[in-house]
Chain A
């Protein structure tokens, strides 16, 4: 599903060139549940952004579903983000002036789906997240866990093959974190590929495979037993 070949990302700070990612090779099969771990500054966010098509690598090739997206232009990358990838962020990133339902409808607006279908699908996604009675609430009226579930509903509503979660439990308490991670496990059971960036071992424990990053390089790519891999 994901195939990174010699991915390097460098930034020029003044005259100095800093390699945030150094020649990364990474393969993620379809249906995997993978955690990317590492201390801050290890490059895990940058790796996440490249996998999420929010950023382009300086060097190397990125094949998503067999297609080389490292050469894609802005418009094509936007389409990939819209249809193939679902994002879940630490700060939820819901639009504060839109209701839960309208927030979930957003990716479908950009996909060009008609109003009625959009509403039906958004309601279905929210129901799946157990939020049937919170659809018309603004994000401010929701708890952290509820917000994150709206965000997950938004991430899955366009039925992407890949969900990228960046510290999805970073702003939640332990109990809520547990329930959110269980939701990810359930989505993974339904066949969605999931990549979680985290520094919490409890969160990473839900994944079947943990990739450790340090100073822009992969240290280990441990495969858990019983993985679909």
Chain B
């Protein structure tokens, strides 16, 4: 008896009980679909999260984390400014570093004609736009001369615009940061993706920030390496130079985009695994449904089994017949589940604004898994069928 014969036979008996087969399959469809959805959303979310947090390529975060000793010697060290303009000059001299992106932030209240909002005032240098993907909704970006001469111009985020101007155009209006006037020249686009925070930000050129706040420190430095290949070297050199300049042991550290992405990837993978396991439970339940219906089927078809045995079917052939039937049931359910999961994940991804990721590995695993479920849960009913006594079975009404 050939394999294709078995498959034909399985299809015809599944077809004979259409509603039952469909309902049984539904358990597997939902189970496989749920796993696919979780994995796809997990992977899509991971990709979106990485691109949002890390920004465009080859970025290296520089951060200052003083050692225990330094902390003990100077408890105020964390409040003190982390970087200075000298640090930027040092970092700019490293050949592997393409640009140094610096920004300083402080909290200020911004007011316009009696409207007042607490916001984050961020002073940025010209390279800031190279790394951070900031789009202007209307108005214009800072010009080179704005950066050099510290013109009193500012860009504001959507939420700050809504707070201060509601529906009016803010372009050309003068707001006050504390008591200092600045002119709004542009409004930033609302950031996409569900992980983005709608913060109330006001951006000014770094030199303007110094004038307004009277400070000259830098709170955040991000480097852009010349290429992906030298990202590690650039990071190491940057940390070494800063530690040498400040005469510190290991207080200046770097985190490049790859290792940051790795950390994020680990977190999302663990989350995907946890939620995926919960979804896997429904697949397990679906498998039990298959076993249940196959047991019913074996009982119903006792006489058929007896007839087949009398006509020369071996116990192995009977076992194979029922095993293939169960497997086809779960395999079809699994394939439908993959498409179902795919569809739902695509819809979720479209709404969340991140890439819909169904890797071929997920599809292969889905197919293999549903086959395995069929074999595992089909084994008991198939074994029961093959152990039937032909004489008793022929007499079964």
Contacts and interface: CB of A to CB of B under 8 A. Distances in A.
Categorize the interface residue count of chain A.
20 to 34
Interface centre among A49, A83, A93, A112 (most CB of B within 10 A): A93
A93 B1 contact: no
A109 B308 CA distance: 10
A49 B309 CA distance: 13
B1 A110 contact: yes
Interface string A69-92: 000001100110111000101000
A167 B2 CA distance: 34
Interface string A96-131: 010000000011011110000000000000000000
Contacts of A112: 1-2
B16 A97 contact: yes
A61 interface: no
Contact of B311 (A49, A97, A110): A110
A110 B315 CA distance: 12
A209 interface: no
Interface string A126-158: 000000000000000000000000000010001
Interface in B91-139: none
B310 A97 contact: no
A78 B312 contact: yes
Contacts of A89: 394
Pairs of residues from A and B, 8 with the lowest C-beta to C-beta distance, nearest first: A82-B312, A78-B314, A110-B312, A107-B311, A93-B307, A81-B312, A54-B390, A87-B310
Contact of B307 (A52, A95, A111): A95
A97 B315 CA distance: 22
B309 A97 contact: no
A106 B308 contact: yes
12 contacts: A78-B314, A78-B317, A82-B311, A87-B310, A87-B311, A94-B307, A95-B307, A97-B12, A109-B1, A109-B5, A110-B1, A110-B314
A49 B303 CA distance: 16
Contacts of B394: 54, 89, 93
B278 interface: no
B310 A55 contact: no
A111 B16 contact: no
Nearest to B15: A97
Nearest to B301: A95
Interface of B: 1-2, 5, 12-13, 16, 303-304, 306-317, 390-391, 394
A83 B311 CA distance: 9
Which interface residue of B306, B309, B310, B394 has the most chain A CB atoms within 10 A?
A: B310
Given A82-B311, A93-B307, A94-B307, 19 more contacts: A54-B390, A55-B391, A74-B315, A75-B315, A75-B316, A78-B309, A78-B313, A79-B314, A81-B309, A81-B310, A81-B311, A81-B312, A82-B313, A87-B311, A93-B303, A95-B304, A95-B307, A107-B311, A110-B311
B312 A54 contact: no
Interface of A: 49, 52, 54-55, 74-75, 78-79, 81-83, 87, 89, 93-95, 97, 106-107, 109-112, 154, 158
A54 B307 CA distance: 11
Given A55-B391, A89-B394, A110-B317, A79 B307 contact: no
A100 to B, nearest CB: 15
Nearest to B9: A109
B312 A107 contact: yes
A110 B313 contact: yes
Contacts of A55: 391
B18 to A, nearest CB: 13
B312 A83 contact: yes
A106 B12 CA distance: 14
Contacts of B307: 93-95
Contacts of A74: 314-315
A47 to B, nearest CB: 12
Contacts of A54: 309-310, 390-391, 394
Contacts of A83: 312
A60 B309 CA distance: 24
Contacts of A78: 309, 312-315, 317
Contacts of B12: 97
B253 to A, nearest CB: 71
B389 to A, nearest CB: 9
B34 to A, nearest CB: 34
Contacts of B1: 109-110, 112
Nearest to A76: B314
B305 to A, nearest CB: 11
Nearest to B317: A110
A79 B312 contact: yes
Contacts of B390: 54
Contact of A93 (B5, B13, B16, B310): B310
